[in-house]
Amino acid sequence: MSSLTDLTLCQAAAGLRAGDFSSRELTEACLARIETLDGELKTFLTLVPEATLAQADAADKDLIAGRKQDVEALPPLLGVPIAVKDVLAVAGMRATAGSKVLENFVPPYTATAVQRLLDAGVIILGKTNTDEFAMGSSTENSAYETTHNPWNLARVPGGSSGGSAAAVKARLAPAALGSDTGGSIRQPASYCGVTGIKTTYGRVSRYGLIAYGSSLDTVGALGRDAQDVSVLFKLMAGHDPKDATTLDVPVPEVALNGSEKIGGLRVGVPKEYFIEGIQPGVETAVRAAIAQFEALGAEIREISLPYTAYALPVYYIIAPAEASANLARFDGVRYGLRVPDEDMIQMYKETRGAGFGPEVKRRIMLGTYALSAGYYDAYYGQAQKVRTLIKQDFTKAFEEVDVIAAPVAPTTAFPIGEHSDDPLAMYLEDVFTLPANLAGVPGLAFPVGFDGENLPVGVQLMGPIFGEERLFRVAHAYQQVTDWHRQYPPLMVAG
């Protein structure tokens, strides 16, 4: 290994336990790389190096003491730094959600998903860039900065967890947390060439996640490979009394040991995901990955998810409707920005006018319209009915197959600015990721090749509700015999 920043999360955790290096050394290596590269990449919104290094020193003390007694009794990720998308609350650390309205908001509490990882010993390296309130597919909707794709700085990293995905690929952090409401973990994972899990709705607590679309929001993780992501998943998952939508079902042991067998596994390939308009380089790489699953013993079956085409219009009614309700709380009274005015209504208007960016305002207007008296049944009510049909597509499919394999997005990373003036073109990037959110099922994205322009292509595996473990197994088996996940952007190698 040439450098500590090359280590995967699991390698870093093992090296720390063995005493090969200290948490301070590892954390300093990440911070130094951030210092060198992040001026250009713009993956982080908030860094607090002193506090981070103080955590590292505390971890080192525990590591030294633990090594003298029982190393196995130490928390599994003791001393490993990770990055956190800026929609998750970490007590005492600014949480902006990429919005000006929360520019100076410091939450007094920590998200459950983050807390569980802190309990497992991680160190928080910083908060990563996101589209404002996670609304977007490129990080261009961040009120602060646009993140650049480490494979090509003129391209977007995807979004909205684009800061997390780019930070992991640029090896600024071993792994990162994200959120996925309509593709925000899987699509940037695909655009940057990392592995990312969108968890089953209700599997990981949303407590401390700044809400976007509450019936769709999920918390997940991005990392170098399926193994790393499965470790984070397992630690974060499970019932939380602070989020009534988390389910009290056991989290399976996802110990991946390199001998995963997928022989006999039925992999469904939905014909609706290979439509006109999909970039040829994407289709070629995804089909090659499916052929590789077959070579590993899986049985490939063509399937149909007939309501796929409705996912986009349905999502873009339900998500804005829920967002319009969730974002009502940003009124200048309790949190964040306030533009003072003697008249209260005027104060609301000016605060919201100054605090929200154009895409967020568009969504609030669309959502408010869809929920307004007279239109509710025609839009929101109708969308909910079609959502049920989309859900049923998946239920039926999983009677026939164990997992579904499909592209993550119709294209690879597009140029910065390409869709900025065309919201609809931006929404179309989400066409293959939205169905899993509407159905509540898990999805795992991981790299399976490159297009003609040396940009990564990802495949998406979807599984039944609570079927994450199955997705990790397939990805891990694939990653044992391929090395797409180990490719790093040439730009970064010298760093």
> Least Å distance between CB 103 and ligand GLN?
20
> Least Å distance between CB 198 and ligand GLN?
8
Contacting range for ligand GLN; rule: CB under 6 A; set: 61-69, 133-141, 202-210, 227-235: 133-141
Q: Which residue has the tokens 């790093």?
A: 488
CA distance 218 to 181: 6
Q: How many residues belong to the site for ligand GLN (CB under 6 A)?
A: 13
Rounded to 5°, angle at Cα 490 from 487 and 492 = 95
Which one of residues 15, 174, 182, 196 is an interface residue with ligand GLN (CB under 6 A)? 182
Which one of residues 180, 225, 393, 469 is an interface residue with ligand GLN (CB under 6 A)? 180
Which one of residues 112, 149, 152, 160 is an interface residue with ligand GLN (CB under 6 A)? 160
Does the active-site annotation cover 261?
no
- 120 contacts 221 by C-beta, under 8 angstroms: no
Name the burial class of residue 70, with classes exposed (0-12), middle (13-18) and buried (19+) by CB atoms within 10 angstroms of its CB: exposed
Does the active-site annotation cover 184?
yes
CA distance 7 to 173: 10
Q: List strands edge to edge, sheet with 219-223.
A: 44-47, 123-128, 81-85, 175-179, 219-223, 195-198, 443-450, 456-462, 403-407, 266-270, 299-303
Which one, 75 or 163, has the nearer CB to ligand GLN? 163
Considering 164, 179, 184, 324, which one is annotated as catalytic?
184
- Tell me: does residue 319 bind ligand GLN (CB under 6 A): yes
Where are the extended beta strands (E) located within 8-116?
Answer: 44-47, 81-85
**Rounded-to-5 percentages of helix, strand, coil across the chain:** 45, 15, 40
> Least Å distance between CB 155 and ligand GLN?
17
Binding mask 421-460 for ligand GLN (x = CB under 6 A): ---------x------------------------------
> Least Å distance between CB 22 and ligand GLN?
36
Considering 85, 127, 198, 234, which one is annotated as catalytic?
85
Contacting range for ligand GLN; rule: CB under 6 A; set: 15-23, 134-142, 273-281, 305-313: 134-142
- Tell me: does residue 120 bind ligand GLN (CB under 6 A): no
> Least Å distance between CB 2 and ligand GLN?
35
- Tell me: does residue 43 bind ligand GLN (CB under 6 A): no
- Tell me: does residue 184 bind ligand GLN (CB under 6 A): yes
Which one, 212 or 379, has the nearer CB to ligand GLN? 212
Contacting range for ligand GLN; rule: CB under 6 A; set: 106-114, 117-125, 175-183, 199-207: 175-183
CA distance 451 to 191: 11
CA distance 114 to 120: 10
- Tell me: does residue 205 bind ligand GLN (CB under 6 A): no
Rounded to 5°, angle at Cα 109 from 105 and 145 = 35
Contacting range for ligand GLN; rule: CB under 6 A; set: 47-55, 132-140, 268-276, 331-339: 132-140
Which one, 182 or 464, has the nearer CB to ligand GLN? 182
Does the active-site annotation cover 230?
no
Residue among 260, 286, 284, 225 at smallest CA distance from 408:
286
φ, ψ of residue 485 in degrees (nearest 5): -70, -15
- 164 contacts 158 by C-beta, under 8 angstroms: no
Query: For residue 386, how many other CB atoms are within 10 A of its CB?
Result: 17
Which residues of the chain form contacts with ligand GLN (CB under 6 A)? 134-137, 160, 180-184, 212, 319, 430
Active site residues: 85, 160, 184
